[in-house]
Amino acid sequence: MISEPSQTLNPCVLDDRELADVLDRYLASLEEGAPLDVGILAAEHPRLADDIRAFAASVEMLHEATQGVRAAKPAKKVGANSTAPFAGEPSPVGAKRLGDFELGAEIGRGGMGIVYEAMQISLHRKVALKVLPFAAMWDHKQLARFQNEAQAAAQLHHPNIVPVFAVGEERGVHFYAMQFIAGRSLDQVVRALRYEEESSSSERAGHAVSTLVAQTTEPSAHPLLSSRHTGSHTEYCEAIARLGIQAATALHHAHQCGVIHRDIKPSNLLLDDQQKLWITDFGLARIANNPGVTMTGDVVGTLRYMSPEQAGGIQLVVDARTDIYSLGATLYELLTLQPACPGEDRQEVLRAISEKEPIPPRVINAGIPHDLETIVLGAMTKSREDRYASAEKLAEDLSRFLEGKPTLARRPTLRDRSAKWIRRHRVLVSLAAIFLVVLAAVSTTSALLLVREQGRTQAALQSAEENLQQARQVVDRFGNQFSRELALLPGSEPLRQAVLGDTLAYYEKFIARATDDPALKQQLAATHFQVGTIASRLGDRLRAEESFRTAHELFSGLSEASPSLQEFQQERATCLNNLALLTSARGDLELAREHYTAAIGLQNSILSAEPSDRASRRLLAEMLTNQGFLERLRGDLPSARRSFTAAIEKLDSIATQSPEDTNAKHDLALALNNRSFVEQETDWKASRTSCEQAQVLLEELVDQTETNPTSHASWRSDLALCYNNLGAILGHLGEDTTAVKKYRQAIEIQEQLVRQFAGVVQYRNDLALTWNNLGQSCARREETAMAVAAYDHAQEILAELVGDFPHDVRYRSSLAGVLNNRAMVAELAGDLPSALANYEAAIAEQRIALEENPAQREFREFLSKHYFNYGRTLRTAGRPAEAASAALQRRNLWPAEGEHLYHIACELAEAAEQLGDEPGEQARVMSEALKTFEAAQLAGADIERLRRQHPLPESISASQEEQL
């Protein structure tokens, strides 16, 4: 649980998200130069009227205090005697007051606040003043972390920790003052060194000595060392070791005081002009007596510098050794100018942290001393137990290195490295080893059984077959169940793929040996089914489809040869259901429909024979649910609703008869939520009822499953999706305030799931879609700034997913949708250049998605809408010729769709009417409009109905009359 905010600061009363949203709108309007009327805002929100009037003054004060200092330009160079902040000289601005402080230039900002250079008036001293952004104050966690940072730093007194001078709050604005450090952060140093490395690479051979450079826009020397490229590299390495000692001794002091920093990285280590290192930014620190800022399972810190236990969200084992790891990663980067855990995306970095050893620094630069390399790698071992026991021990070893004494750190032997790997993956290694041994034994047993079968007695043969069945059960269990469990474990994907691959190889060998043996026909059919299951999990859909088809044919043959008509019916039905899922995924909706019809027919016949069989009823409900999704894709909404309703009836009867069956209740909740999607097309009130019923069931389940982490996570995710869906429904019904609350509830759950299960991609995708929906809700309320912020979140996540999984076009299509929505907000705000740029980006992404999957009608519809919006904006911008080109591109998507062609003809005619000054171009576009209108007629469009709904432009009507 999140603890209450510390009393170090007086927490403001912004516990109401609606109030925070209103005040955020007001602040955004002040910044845009078009302030909203406070009285009107209060009248629109009568419940919050008093709070709005009270806090409006705080918003105005914060706006006035920071106006004119936000965009201060950094200085190019800071001398040794300068008193400028580490991000540049202050801009000459008027006096801006916040309590006892007069604000100067903005010198830095991050997720936890904005830092200004300031003058403390009463003591006439320069300070750095950190201010919590007003928009963040509604978030308990952000406010608590801001307070936590002040509390943590204020209780630490060490010459290498930036001290806090004062903490305060004025009219709802939280801030604290700390010592002003004139210098640079180490991430700026690293960037400068990389710049020098690249600039001088053609003029030097090998690495030489270095300089720690402090710069923001240009490389410039820091007095700590001479140039990196003109002296002995040993001197540079010794300088890095001295920095490491300062940082480690400061961290040891913090740890002794019960404070774990949890975000040690180059940007949080400052180097002043006297060559002194300072640790700052304790916003994510964990304090021994106040650990509640972070929930269990949260992933806090900056990913690239996280320890494996921190990246895995295992907060219970995060201790001082986590900071030691992060400091080791920072020293590694200073020595090599390369990150210890490289990667272009989040997933790649997570894999590097959990699975890969960093490249030895001497491989990158042979000039790095052996002992220093060993110390840094010793601080960064994957296992906490193998790191330095304390930051003090690390500092002592760095001192031994500088003094030329033997260090305690030793290079690991091959046996050490093997033992460490096994210790890190003890459970996985033992399970995988057992599985691989079993697999080898099973393969041998199978071969012997098949070769010697002819020479055995009937009794021996029966015994051999029993052994074979037992061996196959072991393979089935480990190859399928174990792989499913691995999928929930971050960083285990390579092992999961290996297990599935080995299992698949075993099944294929079995198929090769058993194909010509009639006695093994049933096992052969089951093996093809397993191959289909594994191939689908490995992403090989074509192979999976082929295997399920073969399994169905074999089970059908067995059924025909069986004296009982019911035998093998379940296997056939399941094969058909899986074939329908696969054919639907590749866009063949009609074939998928045939498969579902056949599967449901078989399942109904099974249930007729055994009406009390709950498993058969649940399978039938699952097939009906799948069929409902298919009918929705096909656009047959009545059939989709019938399928979902039939599934709900089956599941409701199971849940009623067996109230302890949580899985049945869960399936019922999902079916209700799914039906609500279909009902949105025709009956929004019915959709709301279905969704609220699903919400009640899921909330009960989440409360019941807290002790089961796997089910709890999955069902929390389903609950978040339900909140998301309900938000969309409420927004359509005009209840936008309640809709926003539902979206916020969904986001709170999904953000924690993403932190706790960083390797589960679906959670990231779900979070992006909820941010997008929140953006749409804010846009409907004309809250432009909040809508754009929500779309920014969605776009960032989806762009990462597209980078991580470029071949999964669903993420690309979703990204296009967010870009389209951002464009619409800009269009409504009158920012046509931004709108056009975003529409163009949306079209580019959606075209790729459609080209990769041309049978997916949904992608075609999306792309068509993007072109329509783009053309409308071009006409508004006075660019009708380009608008006509966009309409023609849209026409290419619907060569035989009458209704689409009718609307495209109207768009072309509207563009032609704007081309009055260009008669030749106007005639050409008008000709295309008439040609498109004729195509719509030939395609069977109901012209009279369409004319009533959307009258033809006069130009087309006049042209038709002329032709008549």
| Residues carrying an active site annotation | 263
Give the three-state DSSP class for 272: strand
State the Cα–Cα distance between residues 422 and 167, nearest whole angstrom. 48
Identify residue 601 by its one-letter amino acid code. Answer: G
Residue given tokens 């690309």 in the structure block: 812
* Nearby residues of 39 by Cβ (< 8 Å), 6 or more positions away: none
CB atoms within 10 A of CB 489: 17
Length of the chain (residues): 964
Alpha-carbon distance of 266 to 15, in angstroms, equals 34
Four-residue CA torsion sign, 608, 613, 614, 616: negative
Environment class of 586 (CB within 10 Å of its CB; exposed 0-12, middle 13-18, buried 19+): middle
How far apart, in Å, are the Cα atoms of 162 and each of 113, 280, 293, 319, 430?
Answer: 16, 6, 21, 22, 47
Q: What is the largest CA-CA distance in the chain?
A: 103
Write out the H or E segment, with its range, that includes residue 390: none
Name the residue type at position 452: R
Q: What is the 8-class DSSP label of residue 384?
A: G
Nearest by Cα to 442 from 475, 481, 465: 475
Interatomic CA distance for residues 394 and 396, integer angstroms: 5
Pairing mode, if any, of strands 101-110 and 125-131? unpaired
CA dist 175 and 167 (Å) reads: 6
Rounded to the nearest 5°, which phi and psi values hold at 174?
Answer: -95, 140
List the end-to-end C-alpha distance of the chain, in Å, as a whole number: 77
In SS3 terms, 112-175 reads as CEEEEEEEECCCCEEEEEEECCHHHCCCHHHHHHHHHHHHHHHCCCCCCECCEEEEEEECCEEE
509 is in an annotated binding site: no
Instruction: List phi, psi (to 5°) of 128.
Output: -105, 125
Beta strand pairing call for 101-110 and 96-98: antiparallel
CA angle 72–77–79, rounded 5-degree value: 120
| Nearest-angstrom CA–CA distance, 714 and 207 | 51
By the 8 A CB rule, do 128 and 116 touch? yes
Distance between CA atoms of residues 125 and 165, nearest Å: 11
Instruction: Give phi and psi for 259, each to the nearest 5.
Output: -115, 125
Residue type at position 107: I
Please state whether beta strands 269-272 and 286-287 pair in parallel, antiparallel, or not at all (unpaired).
Answer: unpaired
Residue 670, judged by CB atoms within 10 A of its CB (0-12, 13-18, 19+), counts as buried
d(CA 373, CA 395): 14
Binding-site annotation, residues for ATP:
130
Binding-site annotation, residues:
130
